[in-house]
Amino acid sequence: MARPEKNQPQGMEEYDLGALSDEQQISLSEYKIKTRMGNEDYLRQHPEINVLTSSFLRELLLRRPNNVREFAAAYFTNPELPSTEKLHMLHSDESHAAKLSGEL
């Protein structure tokens, strides 16, 4: 696996190409790949995460609160959230099923 010679990692000012040995760079790259794959598997196993984040972003962009942190805290601690998200999941599942039946 080659070292990045340009397009340094985002947020890495004065990126030092010689900071890691070739072995360390390979190990780091493999770790990043495994981590990303694990995260993708987890997200596929938990579709409710997509529903939660999508619902949160939709409400955030509709309301555009001045204090995003307070809004997020209130949104995710709302006792009504689980029932609201279940409705979104059901709607999402029905929409997905309708799309699939239309494709067959």
Neighbour count for residue 51 (Cβ, 10 Å): 20
Give the residue from 6, 7, 2 showing the smallest Cα distance to 22.
2
For residues 72 and 85, what is the distance between their CA atoms, to the nearest angstrom? 15
Rounded to whole angstroms, how far apart are CA atoms 14 and 38? 30
Q: What is the pTM of this model?
A: 0.57
pLDDT at position 95, please? 59
The single residue listed with the structure tokens 């609201």 is 84
Confidence of residue 18 (pLDDT cuts 50, 70, 90): confident
Euclidean distance between CA atoms 89 and 81, whole angstroms: 12
Instruction: Please tell me the predicted confidence (pLDDT) of residue 84.
Output: 64
**In which band, very low, low, confident or very high, does the pLDDT at 104 lie, cut at 50, 70 and 90?**
very low
User: What pLDDT is attached to residue 72?
Assistant: 96
| Residue type for position 70 | E
User: 21-71: per-residue pLDDT in tens?
Assistant: 888 888 988 999 999 999 999 999 988 888 888 889 999 999 999 999 999
Here the tokens at position 40 are: 């993708």
User: What pLDDT is recorded for position 13?
Assistant: 63
Whole-number mean pLDDT of the chain? Answer: 79
